[in-house]
Chains A and B, each alone.
Chain A
Amino acid sequence: MLKVHQIHKTIEGNDVLQDISFTLERGSIAGMVGRNGVGKSTLLRTIVGIFDPDSGTVTIDDIDVHKNPAIKQKITYVPDSSELLKSYSVKDIVKLYDAVYENFDAGYFYHLMNRFGLPKKKLRSYSKGMKALFHMILSFSTKSEYIILDEPTNGLDPIVKRQILTFIIEEVSERNVCVLISTHHLDEIEKIADTVITLKEGRIGSFTTIEEAKNSFRKVQTVFTDGLPDAVAALPNVKVLNTTGRVTTLLINGNIKESLSVISGFEPLFIEELPMSLEDIFISTLGGEEYVS
């Protein structure tokens, strides 16, 4: 069990992380989302011991990562840069990982290299997608129980993206590992994650399953004779997503039944529930229209 407990981190006088707590179990995929600069990478770096928290703890099976770094045999981190280890050859990297990780499986690593058709050359000659795939393969070959991925699919083409996401799902289901992914791509989270962690202004905004998140929201399209009534727009749990002429798209957060009943009370000409994506939810909860995707 990976437990993050009341992490607080200040950088240059700014409270980048405040009272962050959550627990992740093996066999699950958690997606971490939040706007740029909200502290996602700082949190991941703190979890793997690159940064020290000002207060709070990160434990794996009740062993503190910062006090007992040897426990990091169970956790690997793939940073968001494709520049890492670029001056190394594949052979050198295998030697390096073999010397560091007790359970590193070189056979499995080479098997995956062949499966994804990656050449055994210096990483410098790899494309961005190949590097991302390579680091993913490398981290899973350590046989760690927890894999932390910082924006693993950033800037990759759809084919490589799909390969990576499929690979993650396979690994989690076959080896019972836990994967924590930080990303801006909500569609990816929606496809593969069980849990979504939202970060807002350095704090945990929410920690829910995808289903819970979707069940607590409704997206509806309405048409009123004289436009959206002010009383509806003023409802605290209703957010206007979009207005085109008399057609208004609303997002209802919680108290769905009561809110729909209030809206219906104003006798709309038309009301229809629309399919909802995570993006709708996070645009609404993480910062409105200026949300950066």
Chain B
Amino acid sequence: MFHKALWMRNYKLSKPVIWALYSAGFFSMPFIFLQKARQTSFYNTNVNASEYYNDFHSANISIFFIIAVVLIASLVIGQERSSHSTDFTFSLPLSRKDIYLSKWLFGVFHITAALAVNIGLSYLIYIFSALNKFEKPNFLGLYFLYAFLFLTAIYTFALFIGTFAGNTVTQIVFSVIFLLFPVGVLGLIGAFIKVHWDLFSSEAYNRVSFGSDLTSIISQWTLPIPLFEFSYYYQSSLGKVSTALDYPPLWVWLVPVIYTSASLAAGLYLFTKTKNENNGRILVFDKLKGFFTFGIVTCFALAGGAFFGDAFDVYGEPNLFSYYMGMLTFGSLSYFGIKHLFKAKLQLNKL
């Protein structure tokens, strides 16, 4: 699984984003905590020695991590395809399985290291600063595990997308689409039900509308969303301490484990069957063209219907005629667009 040459190669392909991952971690945790420690020290010395407030919201930092891990996955596979450097990698005396696993291990190592280094530094800042007088940073350990599970799952999933996306751009686009797919599709189905109100019971719409039980379950299965839901706060005022640590229920912690296992297995399978002759195109496998055409046209048609239906509403109610015009327009445009894009080939400079 570990191969020095492949490690060097992966680092070369993704170097700028790897450093961005470490930097994102540094500026969103140790740097912030350092500022907090300095403020606390100043406040306690000069204003009030017993007042203290601290909070931590993963929502503030997760987006940088998510962007970084998707980009790393898109560089170690997609960039190699776009620049046709796969000719070099695949001509080496190494199995495709080893090549793929090395890409996976490389990303997981850097996710772990970036979190460990920055959370470790944050921990040290807590221990050796004014913050230590008020609280113990135990939430950081839990956040490390939580972020590790979700970021590894997002990385593994984006890497899996790279096994059938033919270039960097499509890998990034497909990764974003499929990462948000569960809630996205539910929203489109909701819009469809809403406009065909007379065909469905109100119960049907309530089931898929925002805030329903179904949407909250589906959101937990939409990988990036739970990552935004980890928060902690601590307040000490007039000798009274209040603190809270919020994160999704334990079953949600299993979601990234399932995503990671399934994506790794599927990615490994597809990578060993890869069709390098299609590198640079939208899809690596010709057989997927029909499925993707159907999926993309359906989603665009539903999105177009939802958009037109709302934009040209009648007294605040979505308009059925506009909905179908939107469906037809977006569906047709996406059909011809995708037909055209399937013929295109992206080529970047070799690395």
Say whether A231 faces chain B, with CB atoms less than 8 Å apart. no
Contact A51 to B349, CB < 8 A, known contacts A70-B93, A72-B92, A100-B92 = no
Q: Mark A79-106, 1 if CB is under 8 A from B, else 0.
A: 1010111111000100111011100000
Could you count the A-B residue pairs with CB atoms below 8 Å apart for me: how many are there? 76
* B3 with A79: CB separation less than 8 A: no
- Residues of B contacting A49 in the complex (Cβ-Cβ under 8 angstroms): 90-91
* B92 with A45: CB separation less than 8 A: no
Closest beta carbon of chain B to A117's beta carbon, Å: 25
- Residues of B contacting A81 in the complex (Cβ-Cβ under 8 angstroms): 84, 87, 350
* A92 with B86: CB separation less than 8 A: no
B81-136 contacts to A, CB under 8 A, are 83-88, 90-96
Chain B interfacial residues counted at CB < 8 A: 27
Say whether B317 faces chain A, with CB atoms less than 8 Å apart. no
Mark the stretch among B4-12, B294-302, B318-326 that contacts chain A. B4-12
Give the docked Cα–Cα distance between A84 and B87 (Å). 9
- Residues of A contacting B86 in the complex (Cβ-Cβ under 8 angstroms): 50
* B277 with A72: CB separation less than 8 A: no
Say whether A272 faces chain B, with CB atoms less than 8 Å apart. no
* A50 with B5: CB separation less than 8 A: no
Give the docked Cα–Cα distance between A71 and B93 (Å). 7
Q: Mark A12-25, 1 if CB is under 8 A from B, else 0.
A: 10000000000000
Give the docked Cα–Cα distance between A95 and B12 (Å). 13
* B87 with A50: CB separation less than 8 A: yes
Give the docked Cα–Cα distance between A77 and B93 (Å). 11
Closest beta carbon of chain A to B271's beta carbon, Å: 12
Say whether B215 faces chain A, with CB atoms less than 8 Å apart. no
CB-CB nearest in chain A for B84: A81
* A50 with B276: CB separation less than 8 A: yes
Give the docked Cα–Cα distance between A188 and B8 (Å). 37
A55-79 contacts to B, CB under 8 A, are 69-73, 76-77, 79
Give the docked Cα–Cα distance between A152 and B234 (Å). 67
Contact residue among B3, B91, B276, B350 (Cβ-Cβ distance under 8 Å from A72): B91
Give the docked Cα–Cα distance between A45 and B279 (Å). 13
Give the docked Cα–Cα distance between A69 and B96 (Å). 8
Say whether B351 faces chain A, with CB atoms less than 8 Å apart. yes
Contact residue among B12, B85, B94, B277 (Cβ-Cβ distance under 8 Å from A84): B85
Q: Mark B311-351, 1 if CB is under 8 A from A, else 0.
A: 00000000000000000000000000000000000000111
Give the docked Cα–Cα distance between A85 and B84 (Å). 11
Say whether A234 faces chain B, with CB atoms less than 8 Å apart. no
- Residues of B contacting A86 in the complex (Cβ-Cβ under 8 angstroms): 349-351
Say whether B55 faces chain A, with CB atoms less than 8 Å apart. no
Top 5 nearest A-B pairs (CB, nearest first) are: A72-B93, A99-B5, A83-B350, A77-B91, A99-B4
Partner-B contacts on A (CB < 8 A):
11-12, 42, 45, 48-52, 69-73, 76-77, 79, 81, 83-88, 92, 95-97, 99-101
Partner-A contacts on B (CB < 8 A):
3-5, 8-9, 12, 83-88, 90-96, 273, 275-277, 286, 349-351
